[in-house]
Chain A
Amino acid sequence: MIYLDNSATTQVHDDVLTSFVQVNKQFFGNPASLHEMGVDANALLMRARTQIAELVQTTAEQVIFTSGGTESNNFAFYGVAKASAHKGKHIITTSVEHPCILEAAKRLEQEGYEVDYLTVDETGVISLEELRQTLRKDTVLVSMMHVNNEMGAIMPIREAAQIIHANSRAVFHVDAIQSFGKLPISLADGPDMLSVSGHKIHALKGSGILAMKKNIQIEPLIVGGGQEFGLRSGTVAVPNAVAFAKAARMAIEAMPQKAAQYAEWKADLFAFFASLGDYVKVISTPQGAPHIVSVGVKGLKGEILINALQKEGIIVSTSSACSSKQTKTSHVIEALKVPQAYKDGVIRISFGANTTSSDIQQFKGVFGKIVRQLKGE
């Protein structure tokens, strides 16, 4: 099987899984317990937290463990909105965010907040000028993804941060779920908060973090025993946190080498798709993230392509795993103004740490064959 759906999820790395199992066996104490097992578990949790804090450039106390990307994004969104309601109720995000941001935004709109959605051009990128003009005195939160999950567009985070901080008091949240470990991103690049998900970086499902700069006002989403500095109650899943810390370290260490490899494969696929003529339209852009290649196939349903590829042992997805079960066209594809003929046939190829050059070559062979068949050649 050739797995090219790493933006949906990744396989847990063996070493990460070993750590996870080991911690479950050896350090299973509740980190809040007063006895020695608790103290040990807590010390281990702090080590994991510190390791992650160094990778995202903040202090350990500013890293909150969550159940994953969706919770991190929800937490940032509601948490900041609620904590700064007295300063204003205006929020800015983009029209191409993940549903866990857009749905949260919708809910806040029902509660009386005002949300502006920045538009994107055909490369999937926002306009900094539009951002500048949309910022208001009462803007309390700007939330933006770093890399788009459906086609890999990279948002100008550094520049956006400068504009936001120079023109407003808003907190700048960045959803780095698709970019962490693929592109350099940390709080030093300007965001005030960063969401990262474990299962996108070869750690376990059900793990994630929200990392913040110091002195960010945020209200908890989950209340109870006051764990995670009172910001996220519930017994902390220490094995998950440790696995996350390890996977994150490995991802960052491997990043320079992997990113170069991904870029090479991406260029290779771009050339390959171009050779298929107007039958295939590449939706991703050369300046986008190196690990995501989205294409639309003319007059075909994405699902048919997925099935045809799967028969040959190749796993890819329609635009995003979260929206692939819905029949309507994704909001990202709509926002990008992809021509009608290609809209329904969008598939996403995404690389991960386990992807090899031969995977890419085999994909090309199989995809070419399928296209020729479908064309009736």
Chain B
Amino acid sequence: MMYKEILIRYGELSTKGRNKKDFIARLRENIRYSFSDLAPLKIRTERDRMFIETETPERQHELVTRLPKIFGIQSFSLVASAEKDMQAIKAVAHNIMAQYGDITFKVEVKRSDKTFPMDTHEIQRDLGGYLLSNFQNLSVDVKNPEVPLRVEIREDAAYIMAGIIQGAGGMPVGSNGKSLLMLSGGIDSPVAAYLMMKRGVRIEAIHFFSPPYTSQNSLEKVKDLTDLCTQFGARIRLHIIPFTEIQTLIKDRVPENISMTTTRRMMLKIADEVRKEIDALGIVTGESLGQVASQTLQSLTAINDVTSTPVLRPLLSYDKLEIIDIAKKIGTYETSILPYEDCCTIFTPANPKTKPKLEKVEYYESFTEFDELIEKAVRNRETHSFPKKVVKEDKFAALL
């Protein structure tokens, strides 16, 4: 059946007294962004909830499909409207309840329009009795109903809703500042992006590209992953750093067993430079403690020493299998496991140090001047914005 509007219940922002207004505005903006390919939405906000008009069945379908991905929404419900007349209200309630099988329900009534001839209890009793006598499969449970049927008598009409669709929870992206994500192309970093975005952090991504050791395919894959991360309600810029020169220099100048640590240190330095330029507050990585040699606490200490910027590691305590589960859920897994070389897998030493000593790493690096190359790499980076604006020229369109 066709509903009139969708009622959105805010996520955690309900608890954030002072900043509430900003948070609501941010959520509204993010919702608009998610539907920017369609005609503008009609959104109305209130203190504790938001309403979006469904307008057409197609629009309703799109809303129900996309809203569950947007952070900052606790849950939402489809709302039908009826004339302020018990007969009409019953008819609509009948249509709504006809969708359900054996369930418990209760009727909740909110009567803002005090001129309505029946009071809250009368409406409740009348409508509840009507539904019970029409549906054998319904039974009443006032404490813990499976489907609360809510009727609101407002000035303009009666609004009727049942059933709650779970939202993504979290906070609207952008409400907690911006961070730079180190995106390798593996399974972990997109998951890290997802978790940070869920906490309201806006993301830009940085990727280290080492042609010809890493292929165009691996770069396309990283772009695809960035694009996939935009489904959670925000644009993402991807900074691609030309890394070949630095990586080969490390290979030539630094002992093999600490080259990996140095490589990470250089990456973090570069990331920090880019972070400054884009006004981000932190750096996000997909590191998980102990997963590989570079992710032991000793390694992290040696790597992290190059900056005092907060390095956020949302996956630090996650098991690989837990990470894979999330990756599958958010739809990045299939892309992540495409088998292309990335800059972390080339030049991998046979026996990287799992417990590198900071002083030694610094000592071996001290013979080489990296800063100029770092500055050059930052300067020569390529920046792409996602989701891609409508591709101007589709060279395949006529063929299909």
Residue numbers of A with Cβ under 8 A of B are 19, 22-23, 34-36, 39, 43-44, 47-48, 51, 61, 242, 245-246, 249
Query: Please, how many angstroms separate the alpha-carbon atoms of A198 and B45 in the complex?
Result: 52
Query: Please, how many angstroms separate the alpha-carbon atoms of A43 and B220 in the complex?
Result: 11
Give the residue of B215, B217, B220, B396 whose beta carbon is less than 8 angstroms from that of A47: B396
* Residue of B whose beta carbon sits closest to that of A239: B399
Give the residue of B216, B217, B398, B400 whose beta carbon is less than 8 angstroms from that of A245: B400
Query: Please, how many angstroms separate the alpha-carbon atoms of A30 and B215 in the complex?
Result: 16
Query: Please, how many angstroms separate the alpha-carbon atoms of A190 and B399 in the complex?
Result: 31
Residue numbers of B with Cβ under 8 A of A are 215-217, 220, 334, 396, 398-400
In the complex, what residues of A have CB within 8 A of residue B396's CB? Answer: 43-44, 47
Query: Please, how many angstroms separate the alpha-carbon atoms of A296 and B220 in the complex?
Result: 60
Query: Please, how many angstroms separate the alpha-carbon atoms of A48 and B399 in the complex?
Result: 9
In the complex, what residues of A have CB within 8 A of residue B398's CB? Answer: 19, 22
Instruction: Check if A246 sits within 8 Å of B400, measured CB to CB.
Output: yes
Instruction: Check if B217 sits within 8 Å of A51, measured CB to CB.
Output: no
Instruction: Check if A242 sits within 8 Å of B400, measured CB to CB.
Output: yes
Instruction: Check if A19 sits within 8 Å of B216, measured CB to CB.
Output: no
Instruction: Check if B216 sits within 8 Å of A249, measured CB to CB.
Output: no
Query: Please, how many angstroms separate the alpha-carbon atoms of A51 and B400 in the complex?
Result: 8
Instruction: Check if A19 sits within 8 Å of B400, measured CB to CB.
Output: yes
Q: What is the predominant secondary structure among interface residues of chain B facing chain A?
A: helix
Query: Please, how many angstroms separate the alpha-carbon atoms of A36 and B398 in the complex?
Result: 20
Instruction: Check if A44 sits within 8 Å of B216, measured CB to CB.
Output: no
Distance to closest chain A CB from B103 (angstroms): 22
Instruction: Check if B217 sits within 8 Å of A39, measured CB to CB.
Output: yes
In the complex, what residues of A have CB within 8 A of residue B334's CB? Answer: 61
* Residue of A whose beta carbon sits closest to that of B334: A61
Query: Please, how many angstroms separate the alpha-carbon atoms of A36 and B219 in the complex?
Result: 12
Distance to closest chain A CB from B125 (angstroms): 40
* Residue of A whose beta carbon sits closest to that of B215: A34
In the complex, what residues of A have CB within 8 A of residue B217's CB? Answer: 34, 39
Beyond the given pairs A22-B398, A51-B400, A249-B400, 17 more chain A to chain B contacts, judged by CB atoms under 8 angstroms and listed by A's residue number, are A19-B398, A19-B399, A19-B400, A23-B399, A34-B215, A34-B216, A34-B217, A35-B216, A39-B217, A44-B396, A44-B399, A47-B396, A47-B400, A48-B400, A242-B399, A242-B400, A246-B399
Instruction: Name, among B216, B220, B396, B399, the residue most crowded by chain A CB atoms within 10 Å (CB to CB).
Output: B399
In the complex, what residues of A have CB within 8 A of residue B399's CB? Answer: 19, 22-23, 44, 242, 246
Distance to closest chain A CB from B31 (angstroms): 26
14 contacts between A and B (CB under 8 A): A19-B398, A22-B399, A34-B215, A34-B216, A36-B216, A39-B216, A39-B220, A43-B396, A44-B396, A44-B399, A47-B396, A47-B400, A246-B399, A249-B400
Query: Please, how many angstroms separate the alpha-carbon atoms of A23 and B400 in the complex?
Result: 10
Query: Please, how many angstroms separate the alpha-carbon atoms of A45 and B399 in the complex?
Result: 11
In the complex, what residues of B have CB within 8 A of residue A245's CB? Answer: 400
Query: Please, how many angstroms separate the alpha-carbon atoms of A51 and B397 in the complex?
Result: 11
Distance to closest chain B CB from A215 (angstroms): 13
Query: Please, how many angstroms separate the alpha-carbon atoms of A308 and B274 in the complex?
Result: 81
* Residue of A whose beta carbon sits closest to that of B218: A34
Nearest 7 Cβ contacts at the A-B interface = A19-B399, A47-B396, A44-B396, A34-B215, A242-B399, A245-B400, A246-B400
Query: Please, how many angstroms separate the alpha-carbon atoms of A167 and B399 in the complex?
Result: 44
In the complex, what residues of A have CB within 8 A of residue B215's CB? Answer: 34
Distance to closest chain A CB from B19 (angstroms): 40
Query: Please, how many angstroms separate the alpha-carbon atoms of A47 and B391 in the complex?
Result: 14
Query: Please, how many angstroms separate the alpha-carbon atoms of A63 and B217 in the complex?
Result: 22
In the complex, what residues of B have CB within 8 A of residue A35's CB? Answer: 216
